[in-house]
Amino acid sequence: MKVRNIHQFIEGFQRFQSKYFAGEDPLYEQLNNGQNPTTLLIGCCDSRVDPALLLDCDPGDIFVVRNVANLVPPCNELGHQQGVSAAVQFAVEALNVQRIIVMGHEKCGGIRALMEGYTSARKIDFIGHWMKIVEPVKRQIKTQLAHCSVAEQNRACEMGAILMSLNNLRSFPWIAEREARGEIALHGWYFDMSHGALLAYSDRSDSFLPMVCPLGVPQQAA
């Protein structure tokens, strides 16, 4: 595997600088006055699934929270998993985002570790503690899909983790109240890396359906 030279990152910043700080109306001239994103996106910290790249966003378009396996813990004032909760509260109450997208992906390392029964010899194990959030989904998958392959079980757990995070978002009162009034919408998306497709959860069918099909496959009307 080729190690990326640090100068490539510096050159990358220079290209970013030319794109967003040059011209008659540079974007950051507007963003210096504050941010006003319409969308909070909760994604995985996997290096292959950068939300801004996947969705071709400019700076300021989305407020992003990234963590292992794109999880949202339930609302718990006394809990110790407050980083995600604080970001969610800020996005909703301070930025007044209109939608929240939880975007998971295929071949998630966190979900794979959970499904394989990850253990650590370390006394301090942040990964194992964090992944306990989605342990109920794992148990359900292992029971209901015991006859399926490991890949199928992992994929089901990746999707199940998205749904659990959506349900956990609704445990925050400021989200539940806004959703009830129609002021905020919650979405579950899944990036299929093998086929380059984007799936979205449908309440009506209780399944993930293609929203953007793989290249060469005719797009279906929503």
* Residue 104 belongs to domain with CATH number: 3.40.1050.10
41 part of a folded domain: yes
Q: What's the alpha-carbon Rg for the chain, to the nearest Å? A: 19
1 part of a folded domain: no
- Provide the pLDDT for residue 2: 64
19 part of a folded domain: no
10 part of a folded domain: no
Alpha-carbon gap, residue 101 to 31, rounded angstroms: 22
7 part of a folded domain: no
Alpha-carbon gap, residue 10 to 19, rounded angstroms: 14
- Provide the pLDDT for residue 97: 98
52 part of a folded domain: yes
Parent domain of 168: 36-212
- Provide the pLDDT for residue 70: 98
The number of residues making up the chain comes to 222
For the chain, what is the domain count? Answer: 1
Q: Which residues of the chain have pLDDT under 70?
A: 1-3, 79-81, 220-222
61 part of a folded domain: yes
221 part of a folded domain: no
- Provide the pLDDT for residue 79: 66
